[in-house]
Amino acid sequence: MSAARWGWYHLGERYFDRQLGIHTGRRPEFAGLAYDAPESIRYEPLPYSLARTALATIVDDAPLERDVFLDYGAGLGRMVIMAATHPFKRVIGVELLPVLSEQAAANVKAAKPHLLAPAEVFTQDARQFEVPDDVTVICLFNPFIGEAMADVQRKIEASLRRAPRRMRIIYTHALNQKNLFESCSWLQLTHRLPVGVFDELNLVIFETRAS
C-alpha cells in the first residue's frame, strides 16, 4: 500500500473509532501480538471499509431481527460492535486471548449507546466453542488455518446438522493463502466482494446449500 493510501486508511480507522467512542485500531501494545496456538494468525483488526462492505451485503439481503451474528477471532471487538449497530437478534464474539477479549468487552460497553443489538465477547478457544444453533451469520477475518480451521468448520457443520438453517459465512483471507471454505461441500460461494485498497486480501461470502 502506498504512503498516501496508508494515510487515508488510518484516517478512516480513527474516524469510525471516534464515531463509536471505542479504541479498536492498531495499538502499540498489541502490535504483532502472537498466539501460543501455532495455527492462529497474529492479531490484526479488520479494516472498517471491509467490515462495512460485508455487512452491507448481509443487511441488504434479508431482515436481521432473527439473525444471530458470530465473529471468530474478535480481537478488540470491532466487528462485533459494527454488527451490533444493526438490528441482529444478538451478536457474539469469540477471542482466545484474555488481554484482547477484556478490551473488546470494554469497547462494547463504551459503544452501547450506538448499538441496536445485544453484544457479548467470550474468552475461549474457537476449537472448543460450541456454535449456538441459532447462529446464522459467521465472520472470520483470517483468524486461523490448518487443523484449527478444520475443527471450527466441523463445529459449524455439527450445528447445522442439529438445526438445519440458512447460514452465511463472511471470510477474509490473504490472496497468498488458500480459501479454506472452498472444500466445504455444504457451502456455496455467493459473493466475491470488492476490497478497495486492500488488494492483497480476498473477501467472500458463502451460504449453506439448500440441500
Tell me the mean pLDDT in the region 135-160.
Answer: 94
Q: Identify the pLDDT of residue 41.
A: 67
DSSP string, 89-107: SEEEEEES-HHHHHHHHHH
Tell me the mean pLDDT in the region 146-167.
Answer: 95
Number of domains the chain is built from: 1
What is the CATH classification number for the domain harbouring 183? 3.40.50.150
Only one residue has cell 469469540, namely 94
What global pTM score does this model have? 0.91
Q: Identify the pLDDT of residue 104.
A: 96
Cα–Cα distance measured from residue 14 to residue 29, given in angstroms and rounded to the nearest whole number: 17
Residue 2 has pLDDT above 60, yes or no: no
Cα–Cα distance measured from residue 185 to residue 104, given in angstroms and rounded to the nearest whole number: 34
The model's pLDDT over 179-192, given as tens digits with 9 standing for 90+, comes to 999 999 999 999 99
| Side-chain-facing half-sphere of 32: CA atoms under 13 Å | 0
Q: Identify the pLDDT of residue 9.
A: 67
DSSP string, 58-88: HHHHS--TT-EEEEES-TTSHHHHHHHTS--
The 3-state DSSP composition of the chain as helix, strand, coil percent (nearest 5) reads: 35, 20, 40
Contacts of 4 (CB under 8 A, 6+ apart): none
Closest among 196, 138, 139, 137 to 172, alpha carbons compared: 139
The model's pLDDT over 10-21, given as tens digits with 9 standing for 90+, comes to 677 889 999 999
Q: What are phi and psi of 165, to 5 degrees?
A: -165, 170
Q: What are phi and psi of 11, to 5 degrees?
A: -60, -45
Residue 48 burial (10 A CB sphere; 0-12, 13-18, 19+):
buried
Expressed as residue numbers, the domain containing 113 is 3-208
Q: Identify the pLDDT of residue 11.
A: 77
The model's pLDDT over 52-63, given as tens digits with 9 standing for 90+, comes to 999 999 998 778
Tell me the mean pLDDT in the region 78-93.
Answer: 97
Q: Identify the pLDDT of residue 56.
A: 96
Q: Identify the pLDDT of residue 205.
A: 97
